[in-house]
Amino acid sequence: MQYKHLGRTGLKVSRLCLGTMNFGPLTAEADSFRIMDRALEDGINFFDTANVYGWKTGEGVTEQIVGRWFAQGGGRREKVVIATKVFGNMGDWPNQERLSALNIRQACEGSLRRLQTDHIDLYQMHHIDRETPWEEIWQAMEVLVQQGKVIYVGSSNFAAWDIAQANSMAKARNFLGLVSEQSLYNLSARMIELEVIPACRAFGLGIIPWSPLAGGMLGGALQKAKEGRRAEERRQKDIEKCRPQLEAWEKFCGELGEQPADIALAWLLANPNVTGPIIGPRTIDQLTGALHALEIKLDEGAMKKLDEIWPGPGGEAPKAYAW
């Protein structure tokens, strides 16, 4: 396994992050345990979850599964850098969502209880909350860090100016601030190249791409159109909309002698700004298959061809659109 510092921190995490969103809804607990055990065996030490995963309001189903896995002992908790998130709706009352100081405190306590741990390694804001001032958010996070309940703080789905505002305010408070940003990023969704990636680079945030296979579309969608998430009506519409690109994409992957999913991950891993994409395997076979991407090195010609098939926004702002 390869490891990389998370942003500007001294923390080392695996180049692939194990996403747990399928644990509970799509993957049974026993199978989830086997996937997590295998991930550790393969050197993956970075696990990502969220308090809302499991999609039963207030229950934190996925966190509970991860917590019961930790409770088996054997060094599981000590070896894993666990990341979870706060923002989503966890109840019917008005302060059981978003980023008020009250909800941050209550949500953290809930996640600690479900995860059966005394601290969260990376506590991520699942979405920007422009109804709550940064003074309030940072004060709440500072208390959690002082109490030893949180070590690092990250963001998810933030705009570049949110990152700049957040870390400028944190610096004024002599607080470390955001160390990572979890964004939608894959070959077919490259919008963050305009401003989010430059902001992360400037403020020292590691980038953790979610949906690296675009919901399965980049994983051989034309070959496996009726499998998994690809079978969803919305995904089928996406596939038809992008069919010419997908045909060129899968043909090129065949010419490289590699599976489309592996090339999609290898393309992200080749970006020096990326810490590690989140893989969300439903089975052990999907987990072990993703490891091959770490061995793939794309040359300049291959990267250029991928840009032709899946063009980005033209680089970073403002050069992408101004003279």
Of residues 186, 219, 277, 216, the one with CA closest to residue 2: 277
Number of helices (H), then strands (E), belonging to the chain: the values are: 12, 10
Nearest 5 degrees, angle CA 200-CA 201-CA 204? 75
Cite the active site residues.
Answer: 53
Report the C-alpha gap between 161 and 200 in whole angstroms: 10
Report the C-alpha gap between 158 and 140 in whole angstroms: 19
Question: In the structure encoding, which two tokens stand for residue 144, read together?
Answer: 């959690």
> Which stretch of DSSP H or E encloses residue 154?
strand 150-156
Question: In the structure encoding, which two tokens stand for residue 270, read together?
Answer: 């080749």
Report the C-alpha gap between 167 and 210 in whole angstroms: 22
Pairing mode of beta strands 3-5, 12-14: antiparallel
Question: In the structure encoding, which two tokens stand for residue 111, read together?
Answer: 């996640």
Question: In the structure encoding, which two tokens stand for residue 35, read together?
Answer: 């996937």
Residue 199 and residue 164 in contact, taking contact as beta carbons nearer than 8 Å: yes
In the numeric block, the tokens 């004024």 are attached to 172
Question: In the structure encoding, which two tokens stand for residue 177, read together?
Answer: 């601030």
